[in-house]
A and B are shown apart, each in its own frame.
Chain A
Amino acid sequence: MTDCFNFTEEQIERYARHIILPEIGGKGQSRLLSSHVLIVGMGGLGSPVALYLTAAGVGHIGIVDSDQVDRTNLQRQVIHFTEDLGSGKLDSARRKMAAMNPEILVTPYPLRLNASNALDVLKDYDVIVDGTDNFPTRYLLNDACVFLKKPLVHAGVIRYEGQISVFKPGIGPCYRCIFPEPPPAGVIPSCREAGILGVIPGILGLLQANEVLKLLLGIGQPLVGHLLLVDALHTEFRKVQIRRNSGCAICGERPTITRLEDVVMETCELEEGGICFGNSTFENGVPPTPHG
């Protein structure tokens, strides 16, 4: 990060509407260009986050996903097009990001995060975005961010609703302060099972991108200590205050989680009409999940 910035003519034109904002200016835009953001999951949430951060001029964006583009993704994962069917999501995303803003460096990580690779992948980024579609990875990301003291911009979506918060280690609560342990496997449906209105991850993803930009620029009030609940059927936004939990297993007064471990969901007793991921022993501690 530097106070003296040497924009090209093209950059001044491209970012003119940012630079004219008093809170951003040349200094803020220069800061964005030298920032590093990691987006985990290139699905419904990751798509708009990647597109808008690319357009905004976030200089280095890491993207993590191991899936291929599937036809059922196209209704909401707007970075992927029909012509990308069967391609890796990272290749597909990179092509759009490069076309939108060729000066952004994109680092692809075609893998599933687990306890042995997560710290290494996350360590060089300023802000981490949670666009994952399963609880084991959500908890793993939370835990890794607590250990690395990285801000995590969390969001989750289902049907017509979503939730978003910013977890800033040492400052506000983490995901485990609110949701101490994962739900038993199978009791929370995925988007594949329950459905999702295509615009929902768009709305929540843009709120995530907004939080990322605020964190990078140091402007406004980040969504730390609040969980914003979005109900799109009634167009209701409710901001719930959330607090650090002194009994939190990872960031509380007497943490019981002291090193990064894969998170396994308890198996549920399969009920009539219930959905179960099956065995709790998954490869890399991650259950088979639908695409985004």
Chain B
Amino acid sequence: MKLTINGEAREVDKVSTVGELLPALGLDARQVVVELNQAVIKRNDVDQTPIHENDCLEILRFVGGG
């Protein structure tokens, strides 16, 4: 399926939720925040949030060092 991830057009294996997409991208849902079509998804909702063709995702990582 076609998605825009962090500003780049990507072709990824079909997934039905954000929770399925993250491990497919090698990411841990606890280490990131996902914005789906400009709306921030709460960590507990990631597994239930559906994802569709041409959706736009911004995946932001927690960066805590100072």
B63 at interface by CB-CB < 8 Å: yes
Q: List 13 A-B contacts (CB under 8 A).
A: A45-B66, A46-B66, A133-B66, A161-B63, A178-B40, A183-B31, A187-B31, A188-B31, A191-B65, A194-B65, A229-B60, A243-B38, A245-B40
Stretch of A20-28, A85-93, A120-128, A152-160 with 4 or more beta carbons under 8 angstroms from chain B: A152-160
Residues of A within 8 A of B7 (CB): 238, 240
Residue-wise interface mask of A (220-258) relative to B, using a CB-CB cutoff of 8 A (1 in contact, 0 not): 000000010100000000101001010000000000000
Residues of B within 8 A of A190 (CB): 64-65
The answer, among A41, A162, A177, A238, for a CB contact under 8 Å with B63, is A162
Q: How far is the CB of B49 from chain A (nearest CB, A)?
A: 14
The answer, among B58, B60, B66, for a CB contact under 8 Å with A131, is B66
With A132-B66, A188-B64 known, 13 other A-B pairs at CB within 8 A are A43-B66, A45-B66, A178-B33, A178-B40, A178-B60, A180-B40, A180-B43, A183-B64, A190-B65, A196-B65, A240-B6, A243-B38, A245-B40
The answer, among B31, B43, B63, B64, for a CB contact under 8 Å with A181, is B43
In the bound complex, what is the Cα–Cα distance between A70 and B28 (angstroms)? 32
* CB <8 Å contact, A133 and B60: no
Query: Which of B7, B28, B63 neighbours the largest number of chain A CB atoms within 10 Å of its CB?
Result: B63
* CB <8 Å contact, B28 and A227: no
Residues of B within 8 A of A105 (CB): none
* CB <8 Å contact, B64 and A158: yes
* CB <8 Å contact, B31 and A156: no
* CB <8 Å contact, B63 and A156: yes
Can you name the residue of chain A whose Cβ is closest to the Cβ of B7? A238
B42 at interface by CB-CB < 8 Å: yes
Query: Which of A156, A178, A188, A227 neighbours the largest number of chain B CB atoms within 10 Å of its CB?
Result: A188
Residues of B within 8 A of A138 (CB): 64
* CB <8 Å contact, A187 and B28: yes
The answer, among B28, B38, B65, for a CB contact under 8 Å with A158, is B65
| Total B residues in contact with A, Cβ cutoff 8 Å | 17
A135 at interface by CB-CB < 8 Å: yes
In the bound complex, what is the Cα–Cα distance between A178 and B59 (angstroms)? 11
In the bound complex, what is the Cα–Cα distance between A133 and B30 (angstroms)? 18
* CB <8 Å contact, B33 and A156: no
In the bound complex, what is the Cα–Cα distance between A143 and B37 (angstroms)? 26
Interface residues of A in 173-209 (CB under 8 A from B): 177-181, 183-184, 187-188, 190-191, 194, 196, 201
A59 at interface by CB-CB < 8 Å: no
A44 at interface by CB-CB < 8 Å: yes
A292 at interface by CB-CB < 8 Å: yes
* CB <8 Å contact, B58 and A156: no
Interface residues of B in 9-66 (CB under 8 A from A): 28, 30-31, 33, 38, 40, 42-43, 58, 60, 62-66
In the bound complex, what is the Cα–Cα distance between A271 and B60 (angstroms)? 23
Residues of A within 8 A of B63 (CB): 156-158, 161-163, 188
The answer, among A45, A46, A180, A268, for a CB contact under 8 Å with B33, is A180
In the bound complex, what is the Cα–Cα distance between A238 and B64 (angstroms)? 18
* CB <8 Å contact, A179 and B33: yes
